[in-house]
C-alpha cells in the first residue's frame, strides 16, 4: 500500500483501468481515501458497479458524499442490491435504504437527484420507482423526529412526482402515496400531491376514506376532505363501517357533513351518499 501511495496519479489511473475484479476495487476503496478517489473511476466506468452498488452503499454508510456524488455521475446504481455484499461483510441493502436508515438527508438528496434518475433510465426505471417507494414506506414507520421524517418524505415524494409525471395520481404508486398521506393525516403532503397533479382520481377508495374518518380529528379530517373535493376527487357512494366506530358522535358529525346517511346492517353500518 505504501508503494501505491508513492505513485503519481497518472500511473494510479492506469492501474485502475486494469482492475477487473470488484473485490480488488473494494479493497482499494476501503483502504485509503486518496486511492479510492483515483481508482474508483475505472471500475465504475467498466460496469463493475453498473447494476451493482457495493461501493456506493459503502460510501453512504461511511458518510462519503464526495464519493457518492462521483460514482452516481459515473453510473453507479443507487437502487441496486446484491447478495454478494453479505460475503464481504456488507449489508445487502440498496444505497438509498442505507441513507434513509442512517437519517442522512443530504445523501438521500444525492441518491434521488436528477443524475441518479438519469442513471436509472439507462438501467431500469421501474427499479428506481420501486426503490423510492420502498424508502418512502420505510420512512413512514421509522422512529424519527417529525422534522426529519417530513424532510425525507418531501424528498422522496417530490422525486416520485417528477418521475411519474403530472398524471401520477392515475397510477398505482400515486394512489398509494395519496392514501398514505390521507391515512396519516399529513395535511402538507396531501396538499403537495394534489397541487402537483394534472389528473386526479375519479373516486377515492373506501379504505382511504375510513383511514381519515377513523382518526376522528375533526379539524384535520375536514381540511383534508375539503382539499380532496376542491381537487375534483369524488367520494365513494357506498361503503361499510363497524358499528362501534359509526356510533361515535364525532364520526356521525363528520359523515353527515359529507352527505352520508347510515343504513343499519346487523354488526355494521352501511354508509350511503345521496
> How far apart are alpha carbons 270 and 161 in whole angstroms?
35
Domain ranges of the chain: 185-274
Specify the pairing of strand 260-265 against strand 268-273. antiparallel
Q: Going residue by residue through the chain (274 aa), what tens digit of pLDDT does each one get?
A: 556 666 666 666 666 666 655 556 656 655 666 666 666 665 555 554 444 456 677 778 778 888 788 878 877 778 776 544 443 444 557 788 889 988 899 999 999 999 989 888 887 888 889 889 989 988 888 877 888 888 999 999 999 999 988 888 778 888 888 888 877 878 888 888 888 777 666 666 666 666 666 655 677 777 877 887 777 776 666 666 665 555 566 667 777 777 777 666 555 555 556 5
What does the DSSP assignment read for 145-174?
-HHHHHHHHHHHHHHHHHHH-TTGGGSHHH
Closest by CA position to 266, among listed 234, 243, 246, 237: 243
Closest CA to 54 of 82, 74, 19, 18: 82
Residues 235/271, Cβ–Cβ less than 8 Å: no
Cell of 221: 379530517
The pTM of this model reads 0.70
User: Do 233 and 200 meet the contact criterion of CB atoms below 8 Å apart?
Assistant: yes
Packing angle, helices 187-196 and 172-183, rounded to 10: 150
Residues ≥6 apart with Cβ < 8 Å to 109: 155
Amino acid at each position: 500500500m505504501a508503494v501505491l501511495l508513492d505513485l503519481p496519479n497518472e500511473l494510479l489511473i492506469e492501474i485502475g483501468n486494469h482492475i477487473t475484479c470488484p473485490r480488488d476495487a473494494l479493497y482499494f476503496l476501503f483502504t485509503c481515501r486518496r486511492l479510492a478517489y483515483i481508482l474508483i473511476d475505472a471500475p465504475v466506468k467498466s460496469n463493475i458497479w453498473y447494476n451493482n452498488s457495493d461501493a456506493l452503499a459503502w460510501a453512504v454508510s461511511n458518510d462519503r458524499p464526495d464519493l457518492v456524488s462521483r460514482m452516481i455521475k459515473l453510473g453507479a446504481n443507487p437502487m441496486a442490491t446484491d447478495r454478494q455484499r453479505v460475503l464481504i461483510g456488507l449489508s445487502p441493502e440498496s444505497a438509498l435504504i442505507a441513507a434513509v436508515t442512517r437519517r442522512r438527508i443530504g445523501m438521500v438528496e444525492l441518491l434521488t437527484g436528477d443524475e441518479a434518475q438519469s442513471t436509472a433510465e439507462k438501467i431500469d426505471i421501474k427499479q428506481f420507482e420501486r426503490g423510492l417507494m420502498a424508502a418512502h414506506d420505510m420512512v413512514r414507520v421509522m422512529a424519527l423526529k417529525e422534522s426529519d421524517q417530513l424532510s425525507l418524505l418531501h424528498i422522496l415524494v417530490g422525486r416520485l412526482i417528477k418521475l411519474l409525471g403530472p398524471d401520477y395520481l392515475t397510477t398505482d404508486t400515486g394512489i398509494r402515496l395519496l392514501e398514505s398521506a390521507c391515512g396519516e393525516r399529513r395535511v402538507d403532503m396531501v396538499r403537495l400531491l394534489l397541487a402537483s397533479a394534472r389528473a386526479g382520481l375519479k373516486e377515492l377508495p373506501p379504505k382511504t376514506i375510513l383511514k381519515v374518518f377513523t382518526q376522528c380529528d375533526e379539524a384535520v379530517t375536514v381540511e383534508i376532505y375539503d382539499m380532496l373535493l376542491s381537487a375534483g376527487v369524488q367520494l365513494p357512494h357506498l361503503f361499510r363501517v363497524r358499528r362501534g366506530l359509526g356510533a361515535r358522535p364525532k364520526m356521525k358529525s363528520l359523515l353527515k357533513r359529507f352527505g352520508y346517511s347510515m343504513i343499519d346492517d346487523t354488526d355494521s353500518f352501511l354508509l350511503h351518499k345521496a
